[in-house]
Amino acid sequence: MTAIDDLFVRLKAERKKAFMPFITAADPHLAFTRQVLRKLDQLGCSMAEIGIPYSDPIADGPVIQASYTRALGTNVKLHDIFEQIALERPNIAMPLVSMVSYAIIHRQGPERFVDDALAAGFAGAIVPDLLVEECGSLSRICKAKKFNLIQLVTPTTPPERALKIAELSSGFLYFVSVTGITGERTELPPDLVDRVSWLRERTPLPICIGFGISKPEHVRLLAPVSDGLIVGSAIVRLMEQAAKSEVIALQSIDQLVTSLMAAIQP
């Protein structure tokens, strides 16, 4: 059992849903990343996703792409992120998961990446550009080291392929709510609830929904059919304010997260 596995077992017993914010590491710098993680943990978030900046992000919309560009402008390296997360880890109760391109994992070497991520305090990784046909080796490494490999299912994923992705994933399954890139949206697809309900009947993995979730009404719609909700661009947009005032950025994040968390629980 990993920290992520333990989290969902506990939430299920308590009949609660996971609230999972996404932030970009090192935007605008790693000291602020640590402040935000502390704030999110204090607010009671279930888990945090930390985006590893990459020059060619997959499926990320303009808000997250811009945050990656700002972070890369600081010359931050993977070992810098791991080092700072390791220092902050004792102050944070919630599990942490990285959102990372497979190109970074490949360059590091899969076994070394997993070992270093575990040492830093990560419980798993979401790898958005790793095809299910090519994930067998990494999946085996992660399983052997008790490190969750979380993969994505999209609205256009054929049913048979979605089940195969679920078989090779662990921790939870990331269900992409919309076709296209990340970003805040006013409306979500009308058939999203039915698609998630179908998959939930066919896999024991918790299913968490992300992409486009930014409002309490989105949360109230999707919470009943999901095990957790992921909010990224709406939070990352507020982090941009830190370039002018870190205090204001943290206050804005506090207000948004508090409103969304109030809507997620039955």
Check the CA dihedral 168-171-177-183 and report its sign.
Answer: negative
Strands 228-231 and 207-210: parallel
> Which residue in the list 5, 27, 41, 49 is annotated as catalytic?
49
Q: In whole angstroms, what separates CA 1 from the centre of its chain?
A: 19
> Which residue in the list 60, 88, 184, 227 is annotated as catalytic?
60
Tokens 């080291």 belong to residue: 145
DSSP string, 118-179: HHHT--EEE-TT--GGG-HHHHHHHHHTT-EEE-EE-TTS-HHHHHHHHHT--S-EEEE-SS
Contact 200, 223 (CB under 8 A): no
- What's the token pair of residue 171? 């921790």
**Has 60 been annotated as catalytic?**
yes
Q: Which residues are catalytic?
A: 49, 60
